[in-house]
Amino acid sequence: MHHPPHRFLLALQLNVFDRQRLLGSVANAWQTDQPIALARTWMTEMCGPTDRFPNLLILDMNDTTLHVLDRLWHGDNVASMLSRFRDRFGQDAIALLALELRAV
């Protein structure tokens, strides 16, 4: 893990427990009005593989996982995420996901 933005985001995630403060820190440090998009890019790079980076965190983050993370950064809570998935996939399809999200 040598890319400074990746290290910065990981440090924030380990030490800043307020969503607004975390995103504000990204916005201030990188002079952006799109901190969520930037953080998602970094997470995508770290959980690749991408053209530039391997899967640095050895986490399998598919598009759905990254979408959930993106929505959580936008302020959605577990209930709203479950509602989105229920509307899209049906109640039976999200039963396991509901248990996993509630555990977080």
pLDDT in tens, the chain (104 residues): 788 999 999 999 999 999 999 999 999 999 999 999 999 989 888 887 677 777 777 777 777 788 888 888 899 988 888 788 888 888 877 777 667 766 66
> Against a cut of 0.85, is the pTM above it?
no
Whole-number Cα distances in Å, 68 to 3, 15, 28, 36, 51: 24, 21, 24, 12, 23
What is the rounded distance in angstroms from the CA atom of residue 55 to the CA atom of residue 58? 5
